[in-house]
């Protein structure tokens, strides 16, 4: 990437080159495996088993069945299929401004996309307010924003039931990324999960952008909510292969068995192929061996510190929020009203 003065930046790019561009160990592992074998993932290979074991070791015990795919979109599409098969329900609750991928099934549940143009919201989709305590409906001065936002979901479920509909899933990024770098208030996801489970639905945590240690303190962003919160399905992608196209859905035995008992096996030619799996294993090794979670915390804190200094100087900066290397700068036209400074933000992005 080049800035406006022609300065080159190597590792400053959207959440994929997670362990660094062309990390020599990743390059070597991929090349070695390509020389040996790469094939249709219908044929079993040790690396897929080894990788599934390593990945599930990073997650709570119940999340132990992995389905490998080639993109975050494929992972989220499969997560919806798993959720719908589980109890036979169809409806999905999604957060306002969410983006979950480019397949038709995901555009339907991505207000960030479907609110543009002529795409009409499908009747099985319910859009809950995103839990933004800076600019949302309930802010940091609200006595209990987590409950207030979760009650919106509760009401949505009630309304859906009243019109004869049934909830299959609630889907959200563990921290909303392109929807505004939103960190949900403590306790929000626990409350939402309780209502969604009560309705026979499942909780899908999209970790495509925010997983693999980006938040530093934890390997998965949903773990920021505490040990009493465990999603039913976790989807992951982007940093998983450091740019190599690989993604995954991890779920419980119960949900996976409900899917396989339908007789419809999941088959994906490339998902979990031997090259992808050795790449994935190498990325996990690097995150651990190079203490990249510690790095995310240290560099993230430093970045936030510098940005906070800038905030004191520029009234354009309304809010700096983030954890680890998940950091957002909210530009505003007016500090009090928090009116988004859209044109200014666009200018900074293009620069
Ligand atoms: C949160 C989130 N989920 C899913 C996706 C889709 O992933 P992919 O582009 O790999 O299909 C993206 C991509 O930007 C994303 O940001």
Contact present, 261 and 232 (Cβ < 8 Å): no
Number of the ligand 1 atom closest to the C-alpha atom of 103:
11
pLDDT in tens, 84-104: 999 999 999 999 999 999 999
pLDDT above 90 for 39:
yes
* Distance between Cα 94 and ligand 1 center (Å): 15
pLDDT in tens, 268-313: 999 999 999 999 999 999 999 999 999 999 999 999 999 999 999 9
**Strand ranges for 82-159 from DSSP E:** 91-95, 125-128
pLDDT above 80 for 12:
no
**Strand ranges for the chain from DSSP E:** 65-69, 91-95, 125-128, 167-173, 202-206, 233-236, 247-251, 317-323, 326-334, 339-340
* CATH no. for 292-350: 3.90.1150.10
pLDDT above 90 for 264:
no
The SS3 call for residue 78 is helix
Contact present, 295 and 324 (Cβ < 8 Å): no
Number of the ligand 1 atom closest to the C-alpha atom of 247:
10
Instruction: Please give the pLDDT value at position 333.
Output: 97
Pocket test for ligand 1, best of 77, 97, 235, 237 (most atoms within 8 A of CB): 237
10 Å Cβ neighbour count for 72? 25
Contact present, 275 and 37 (Cβ < 8 Å): no
Q: Using CA positions, which residue lies closest to atom 14 of ligand 1?
A: 101
CATH says 29-289 is which class?
A: alpha beta
Instruction: Please give the pLDDT value at position 199.
Output: 98
Instruction: Please give the pLDDT value at position 64.
Output: 98
pLDDT above 90 for 178:
no
* Distance between Cα 226 and ligand 1 center (Å): 25
Domain spans of the chain, in order of start: 29-289, 292-350
* Distance between Cα 181 and ligand 1 center (Å): 15
Pocket test for ligand 1, best of 107, 208, 210, 328 (most atoms within 8 A of CB): 208
Percent pLDDT > 70 in the chain is 99
pLDDT in tens, 125-152: 999 999 999 999 999 999 999 999 999 9
* Distance between Cα 295 and ligand 1 center (Å): 24
Q: Nearest-CA neighbor of 18 among 275, 244, 192, 171?
A: 244
Between residues 25 and 349, which one has the greater pLDDT? 25
Query: Sorting pLDDT into bands at 50, 70 and 90, what band is 156?
Result: very high
* Distance between Cα 332 and ligand 1 center (Å): 27
Element at 318 (helix H, strand E): strand 317-323
* Distance between Cα 279 and ligand 1 center (Å): 19
pLDDT above 70 for 13:
no
CA dist., res. 206 & res. 171, Å (int): 7
Between residues 350 and 337, which one has the greater pLDDT? 337
Instruction: Please give the pLDDT value at position 42.
Output: 87
Pocket test for ligand 1, best of 75, 238, 326 (most atoms within 8 A of CB): 238
* Distance between Cα 153 and ligand 1 center (Å): 24
DSSP-derived pairing of the beta strands 125-128 and 65-69: unpaired
pLDDT above 70 for 43:
yes
* Distance between Cα 73 and ligand 1 center (Å): 6
DSSP-derived pairing of the beta strands 326-334 and 339-340: antiparallel
Q: Using CA positions, which residue lies closest to atom 5 of ligand 1?
A: 101
pLDDT in tens, 201-259: 999 999 999 999 999 999 999 999 999 999 999 999 999 999 999 999 999 999 999 99
Number of the ligand 1 atom closest to the C-alpha atom of 73:
11
pLDDT in tens, 165-174: 999 999 999 9
Instruction: Please give the pLDDT value at position 126.
Output: 98
Q: Using CA positions, which residue lies closest to atom 3 of ligand 1?
A: 100
Mean per-residue pLDDT for 260-265? 89
Instruction: Please give the pLDDT value at position 168.
Output: 98
Torsion of CA 323, 25, 235, 238, to 10 degrees: 70
DSSP-derived pairing of the beta strands 167-173 and 202-206: parallel
Number of the ligand 1 atom closest to the C-alpha atom of 71:
10
Strand partners, 126: 93
Q: Using CA positions, which residue lies closest to atom 13 of ligand 1?
A: 101
Instruction: Please give the pLDDT value at position 272.
Output: 97
pLDDT above 70 for 110:
yes
CA distances from 274 to 38, 145, 248, 266, 278 (A): 6, 46, 14, 18, 6
Q: Which protein residues are within 6 Å of ligand 1, measured from CB?
A: 71-73, 76, 99-102, 173, 177-178, 206, 208-209, 237
């Amino acid at each position: 990437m080049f800035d406006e003065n022609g300065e080159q930046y190597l590792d400053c790019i959207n959440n994929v080159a997670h362990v660094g561009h062309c990390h020599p160990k990743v390059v070597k592992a991929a090349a070695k495996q390509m020389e040996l074998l790469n094939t249709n993932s219908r044929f079993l290979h040790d690396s897929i088993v080894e990788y599934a074991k390593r990945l599930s070791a990073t997650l709570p015990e119940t999340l132990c069945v992995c389905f490998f795919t080639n993109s975050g979109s494929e992972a989220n599409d499969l997560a919806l299929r798993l959720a719908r098969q589980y109890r036979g329900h169809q409806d999905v609750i999604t957060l306002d401004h969410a983006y979950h991928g480019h397949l038709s099934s995901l555009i339907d549940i991505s207000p960030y996309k479907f609110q543009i143009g002529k795409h009409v919201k499908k009747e099985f989709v319910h859009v809950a307010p995103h839990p933004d305590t800076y600019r949302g409906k309930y802010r940091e001065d609200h006595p209990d924003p987590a409950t207030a936002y979760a009650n919106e979901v509760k009401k949505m479920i009630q309304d859906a039931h009243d019109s004869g509909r049934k909830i299959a899933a609630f889907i959200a990024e563990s921290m909303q990324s392109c929807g505004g770098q939103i960190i949900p208030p403590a306790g929000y996801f626990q409350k939402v999960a309780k209502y969604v489970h009560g309705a026979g639905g499942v909780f899908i945590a999209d970790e495509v952008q925010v997983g693999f240690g980006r938040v530093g303190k934890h390997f998965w962003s949903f773990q920021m909510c505490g040990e009493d919160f465990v999603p039913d399905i976790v989807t992951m992608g982007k940093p998983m292969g450091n740019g190599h196209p690989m993604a995954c859905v991890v779920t419980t035995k119960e949900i996976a068995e409900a899917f396989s008992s339908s007789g419809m096996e999941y088959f994906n030619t490339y998902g979990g192929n031997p090259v992808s799996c050795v790449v994935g294993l190498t990325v996990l090794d690097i995150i651990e061996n190079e203490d990249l979670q510690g790095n995310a915390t240290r560099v993230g804190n430093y970045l936030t510190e510098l940005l906070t200094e800038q905030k004191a100087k520029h009234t354009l900066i309304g809010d700096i929020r983030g954890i680890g290397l998940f950091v957002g700068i909210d530009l505003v036209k007016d500090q009090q009203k928090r009116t988004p400074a859209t044109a200014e933000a666009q200018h900074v992005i293009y620069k």
